[in-house]
Amino acid sequence: MALRLGDIVPNFSAETTEGIIDFHQWMEDKWIVLFSHPADFTPVCTTELGYTAKLKPSFEQRNVKAIALSIDPLASHHSWIKDIEETQQITMNFPIIADEDRTVAELYDMIHPNETEKFTVRSVFIIDNHKKIRAIITYPPSTGRNFDEILRVIDSLQLTANYSVATPVNWKNGEDVVIAPTISDEEAVVKFPKGFKKIKPYLRMTPQPNK
Ligand code: BEZ
> Given this model, what pLDDT does residue 157 score?
98
Q: Is residue 151 part of a domain?
A: no
Same domain for 64 and 116, yes or no, is yes
Q: Is residue 183 part of a domain?
A: yes
Taking residue 51's Cβ as centre, other Cβ atoms within 10 Å add up to 16
Same domain for 167 and 75, yes or no, is no
> Given this model, what pLDDT does residue 141 score?
97
Is 45 catalytic? The answer is yes
Q: Is residue 156 part of a domain?
A: no
pLDDT tier for residue 45 given thresholds of 50, 70 and 90: very high
Q: Is residue 3 part of a domain?
A: no
Cβ of 53 less than 6 Å from ligand 1? no
Same domain for 25 and 61, yes or no, is yes
Cβ of 50 less than 6 Å from ligand 1? no
55 has pLDDT over 90:
yes
Cβ of 45 less than 6 Å from ligand 1? yes
Tell me how far apart the alpha carbons of residues 40 and 119 are, in angstroms, rounded to a whole number.
10
User: In this predicted model, what pLDDT tens digit does every residue of 191-200 receive, in sequence order?
Assistant: 999 999 999 9
Same domain for 49 and 92, yes or no, is yes
Cβ of 44 less than 6 Å from ligand 1? yes
Tell me how far apart the alpha carbons of residues 145 and 199 are, in angstroms, rounded to a whole number.
35
Measuring from atom 6 of ligand 1, which residue has the nearest CA? Answer: 141
User: Structural domain of residue 135, as residue ranges?
Assistant: 13-145
Q: How far is the CA of 2 from the centre of ligand 1 (A)?
A: 24
Final residue before a domain boundary, out of 112, 145, 178:
145
pLDDT tier for residue 1 given thresholds of 50, 70 and 90: confident
144 has pLDDT over 90:
yes
> Given this model, what pLDDT does residue 111 score?
97
Final residue before a domain boundary, out of 145, 174, 193:
145
What value does the mean pLDDT take over residues 190-210?
97
> Given this model, what pLDDT does residue 47 score?
98
CATH number of residue 183's parent domain: 3.30.1020.10
Strand 96-98 with 64-70, pairing: parallel
Measured at the alpha carbon of residue 5, what is the angle toward residues 8 and 207, in degrees to the nearest 5?
Answer: 115
User: In this predicted model, what pLDDT tens digit does every residue of 152-162 receive, in sequence order?
Assistant: 999 999 999 99
Q: Is the pTM of this model over 0.95?
A: yes
The ligand 1 atom nearest the CA atom of 39:
5
Tell me how far apart the alpha carbons of residues 69 and 104 are, in angstroms, rounded to a whole number.
9
Measuring from atom 7 of ligand 1, which residue has the nearest CA? Answer: 141
The ligand 1 atom nearest the CA atom of 45:
2
